[in-house]
Chains A and B, each alone.
Chain A
Amino acid sequence: MSEQQAGAGGTSFTATIALWASRHRRLVVLGWLVAVIAALVSCSVLTVDDSVEGNAPGESGRAFTLVEERFGTEEGRPDEIIVFSHPTLTVDDAAYEALVTGLLRDFRALRVEDTRSAAGSDVLDSKRLVASTISHYDIGL
């Protein structure tokens, strides 16, 4: 039965729920709270088997797994392109290249830190954020 048909002969199902909710507001809010609390408690109490992995099949899947394993997830997108320009230096200046080299070195020095307890010891892992950098100097030719 469509809502339009119901409207013609009386109150639709959706409207009935809405009317009931508007008349039992405290009950609705309390019920929602109970549902949220139950969900949070069950999250912390129940153990979930999350070992299922949606890997792609075949060699491409294995390649993807290897890339994930080797380069982790901290890097976010694997490729970022940075266009560098300078207000006074030109691309063929040695100082320009030195600036770019230093910038890339600073990128490679970026780290993301993760602290945890492992086997009874406090452990800090400091992993690089940028796996590698490649520079290309566009001299306009």
Chain B
Amino acid sequence: MNYGLPAKTRLFRRLSPLLALACLLVAVLALAGCGAAAPDVAGLTDTERSPDTPLVIAPGEPIVVGVSSALTGPNGVRGSEYRDGVIVAVERWKAANSETIAGHEIQVVAEDDGCTEADNAVVAAERLIQRSGLVGVIGPQCSSGVAAAMPSYAAAGVVTISGSATTTRLTTGQEEGGYFFRTAYRNDLEGTLIGLAGGGGGGLFLAQTAYLIDDGDTYGVDLSSNAALALRANGVDVTTVSVVPGSVDYGDLVSEIVGSGADFVGFAGFNPEAALLYRQLRAGGYAGVFGAGDGAASESDFVAPVGEAAEGALFAGCRIPLPADVASELESLSGRAPSASFTAHFADATTALLDAVQAVAEEGADGSLTIDPAELREAVRSVEIDGLTGALTFNAQGDRIPAPGVDLDDFHNAIIENFDPEAFVSLGLVPCQVQDGKLVNLFGPEAGTLRQ
């Protein structure tokens, strides 16, 4: 039955103009629905960079602030927050100074460095160095990444300021005139904080027998060995153990610790290992004090997965309280409240870099911008800012110091002699404790009270 339908060919001949119109309309509307086009961000170039080659940014081209942090993987949440800290710092710098530097806009390019994955940090470095208009890099995030990527950055004459890499030798092993700086404190200072605390300093706790466990990574081994030195100096009997990153079963180690009668267990490494070890320690009957370094101090990665059992755990390097407007801007970027340890340090690193760029960038008659790498490095070294983590500048080795001329070793020794761990606040180093599901700082601004 054909129901009186017209011939197929005749139907399509009549409909074709209407169909064409319909397709055109749909295509136009679909394109209109795609929203705003993606911004035009500086691309990769084949230009060779070196400490002796001035960086020239063509007229109208942007200044690029590079970020090297983990954007994926186990450290991706913290690394993304650090990138957001850089974005917020750029906006705050623009609001306090100018929208552009000599007419050049400021862009942020973030490369995923995998944090502890050294080969990824090298890939990130190689890609950032190729980015046209790159004036410097905020990062890398982890010490092992810095150690692996620093030769590339130094050979290219690219200033890097890490907000979170704390391994001591990254700066103490760097020749004067190096291109690496950090707004983070050093592990030997954090180790002293742990040692003084274990010896009763700051009224945090008093240990007699301690187990220090590291994750075998650059950062963990360095922090553990420095903490062991400081604890022994304060009369604590210390046993050190290394575990393999990625371990999930700590049953044998827990039995050993519980059997030893240790009253303090410290972990130098990251999550999830710290959270897993802690849960198994408590489940295994360990009732003493537990502490960990900055790498594990996280509400999202330690407190949340451990739950109520996390109450009372101590951390040596914790988040500096952020002004409400900064915290709000960060939350609007990621959809979560900021909780990582070094977000403020990354923001301060960004401010230092932009101040230095503005100080040395020379504007050409054609509107181009020329920056000499060595001049920029020296400008970073002499920058003085009153940042989110406090007042800071840098010493000749690239370490953060609270004021020009302060000898960091003398400063450190004075803290030990005075048995005064609270003085570390001026280096952005504060301990904290899990209280009611939150990390509560025990020294410095907005400090709470230790709960026994």
Contact = CB atoms under 8 A, between A and B. Distances in A.
User: Residue among A19, A43, A124 with the most chain B CB within 10 A?
Assistant: A124
A69 B75 CA distance: 10
Interface string A21-56: 010011001001100110010011000000000000
B123 A121 contact: no
Contact of B73 (A18, A71, A74): A71
Given A29-B18, A126-B111, A118 B73 contact: no
B6 A124 contact: no
A139 B107 CA distance: 50
Contacts of A74: 72
Interface stretch (A76-84, A86-94, A109-117): A109-117
Interface residues of B, number: 53
A44 B77 CA distance: 31
Contacts of A33: 21-22, 25
B112 A111 contact: yes
A128 B62 contact: no
Interface in B53-110: 62, 71-74, 76-77, 83-84, 87-88, 90-91, 94, 105-110
Interface in B34-59: 36, 38-42
Nearest to A122: B39
Contacts of A125: 71, 83, 110, 112
Contacts of B112: 111, 125-128
Contact of A70 (B36, B74, B120): B74
Contacts of B40: 115, 122
Interface in B114-151: 114, 119-120, 123-124, 127
B18 A72 contact: no
B69 to A, nearest CB: 10
Given A29-B15, A111-B112, A131-B72, A116 B39 contact: yes
Contacts of B3: 11, 15, 18-19, 22
Contact of B91 (A19, A29, A70, A120): A120
Contacts of A109: 123
Contact of B5 (A22, A71, A105, A127): A22
Given A36-B26, A70-B73, A72-B72, A19 B4 contact: yes
B170 to A, nearest CB: 23
A124 B107 contact: yes
Given A116-B38, A121-B106, A122-B41, A40 B33 contact: yes
B110 A126 contact: yes
A124 B108 contact: yes
B5 A115 contact: no
Contacts of A44: 33
A122 B107 CA distance: 5
Given A18-B5, A108-B120, 10 more contacts: A19-B4, A36-B22, A71-B73, A71-B76, A105-B119, A120-B94, A121-B106, A122-B39, A122-B108, A123-B110
26 contacts: A11-B3, A19-B3, A22-B11, A29-B22, A36-B29, A37-B25, A70-B76, A108-B120, A115-B41, A118-B84, A119-B87, A120-B91, A121-B87, A121-B107, A121-B108, A122-B107, A123-B108, A124-B107, A124-B110, A125-B83, A126-B109, A126-B111, A126-B127, A127-B71, A127-B72, A128-B71
